[in-house]
Each structure stands twice: as structure tokens, then as C-alpha cells.
Amino acid sequence: MKTVLGYIGLGNMGKPMSRRLLEAGNELVVWNRTISRADDLVAAGAKAAASPKDLAGQADIIFICVSDGPTLKKVSLDERAGLVSGLKPGKIVVNMSTVSPAESSELNSAVEKRGCKLIRGPVTGSTALAENGTLGVLASGDRETYEKILPYLEQVGKNQFYLGDGEQAVVLKLAVNTMIASTMQMEAEAVVLCEKAGLDVAQVCDVIAGSAAGSPLCSYKAKMIAEGIYDPAFTVKLMMKDLDLAFDAAKQYGVSMPVTAITRQQLQAAAATGKEQKDFSVLTQVLEEACGYQR
């Protein structure tokens, strides 16, 4: 019998990942709070579920990609319509959402009580990488279960990392996001320094991207920063959420994160000046304003 996949959460990352699974020839059932986001997937052959519980009843492997912990709890643990209430023994849940270790552990306990397994599978990379299937997938949980679902993970991510049998993937995803956020703050400082010295911002961004200090992130964001148009790929609001989760983990493990703290304050400045729904690379504009620079 063919394995049926389910996908809950069709946002900026979930939508392209679910499309990759469908285009690979899988039978796919989808659900999203705004159901119209599933219309094109349904037109392409997916089936729309009435609720997360309904989806769990139809699918053998259920992927989740939602915005935050409270949303994860709502779609998974709601007694009336949550996916856990629809699980039958032997099913597999893959949580690709960025949440705290505690929120992930709560979901794991609920899933295991139903005789099922949870794989933590957050991803690294941009929406563009989600669309072309070259994301990095960080995974932890039961190793045998991971091996079973690896072919499906490979359909959404080029780079696969199995990290352990617990919450390791969740912690590493938060750690990576602290570096991503701080990289954008460092680039903001470099760009504004150069702007005020009379250099061309587009050229500055190109040089940074190609330098020893550059990274794929700097390349992704070069055009956005150069044009000063910060349409959201990953919002200020979501990045603040992730840094707050990282601070919670840092408290748990006794780690100091001073650079992350400074970056979090700059993101707060972005939110306070009406930029909460802008891409987090708007940190450059925040610093321009603070330094009295106007393009």
C-alpha cells in the first residue's frame, strides 16, 4: 500500500516544501488555517483535509510547519480537532517548525502516548531553497524512524543531518538562527559605515558577499539591502520569536549570548518603528535611521 503523506501549515516555507513532496509523486493530504492557501496544491492533485485530526486519520507520515509554539500546540494538541487525537499507532509525525525544546518535548510525549513517533526536523535555508529542494534538514529522534522517512526528507532538502535521539535538532536550529540574525546586524553596521563614507551600497553588498566575511545569507540579502526594499522572506517578528526561544535555551544550559542580545534589541527597534512585518534584513535601515543617513 502506498504511503500517504500529510502536511500541516502552508506558509512561506511549508507551501514550497509540500509542493516538492507532491511533485515527487507522493499522495499528499494538506491542511492550513486559511484553507484557500491549499487551492493550487489541490488543483495539482493533493487532497484537502477538514482539520489536523482529519489529516492525521488519512496520512501515515505527517509533516508540520507552523509559525510558533502556541500554533503548534493548537494544531497538534487541541482535544477536538488536533492531529494527535487522530493518530493511530505506528504513524510518524515530523515537526519542521521552529519551537522551543520544551514545546517540542511536550509534543513528543503526546505523540508517543498514541503509539507513534516524532522526528524533530527543522530546516535551514531561505524560501528560494525551499522551492528548489535544497534546504538543510536538521533531524533528531528515534534513529530507525529517521531512516524510514529519510527519502521524503531528501525530497525537500539537499543536506541532511541526523543529530541525536532527543531535542538536539531543535537546539541547533535556534543556534543557527542566532548566527543568521547577528550576521545581518554585522552587515548593517558595515554597510552604513561605508554609505556614510560615500561608497555605493550595491557594490558594498557584493564585496561583502564575496569576501571572507561573506556567507550564502549575505548573497541572498544583497539585492534586498542594496535596493532598500525589505519584502518579507523571514519577518522581524518571527526572528524576535526565535531569539527569545534561544535565550530560553541559553538559560536552561547556562550560556551567555551577548551578541545575540544586542541583535535582539535592534530587532526590537525595528518593530517599534513599524517594521515588524518587514524582512529581518531591515536591520540596515534601522541603523541608517539611527545614524541620520537617508538614501
* Per-residue pLDDT, 200: 97
d(CA 12, CA 44): 18
* Per-residue pLDDT, 126: 83
Cα 236 to Cα 13, 16, 68, 191, 282, distances in angstroms: 16, 21, 14, 19, 8
User: Which element (helix H / strand E) includes 170?
Assistant: helix 168-196
- For the chain, give the number of residues: 295
CA-wise closest residue to 282 among 215, 227, 236? 236
Q: Is 274 exposed, middle or buried (0-12, 13-18, 19+ CB in 10 A)?
A: exposed
CA 99 to centroid of chain Cα atoms? 9
CA-wise closest residue to 95 among 118, 114, 68, 128? 118
DSSP H helical segments within 197-235, as ranges? 201-209, 216-227
Residues 6 or more apart whose CB falls under 8 angstroms from that of 246 comprise 174, 175, 177, 178, 257, 260
> In angstroms, how far apart are the furthest CA atoms of the chain?
66
* Per-residue pLDDT, 53: 98
From first to last of the 295 residues of the chain, give the pLDDT tens digit: 799 999 999 999 999 999 999 999 999 999 999 989 999 999 999 999 999 999 999 999 999 999 999 999 999 999 999 999 999 999 999 999 999 999 999 999 999 999 999 999 999 988 888 999 999 999 999 999 999 999 999 999 999 999 999 999 999 999 999 999 999 999 999 999 999 999 999 999 999 999 999 999 999 999 999 999 999 989 999 999 999 999 999 999 999 999 999 999 999 999 999 999 999 999 999 999 999 999 8
Q: Give one DSSP letter per residue of 124-146, joined into a string.
A: ES-HHHHHHT-EEEEEBS-HHHH
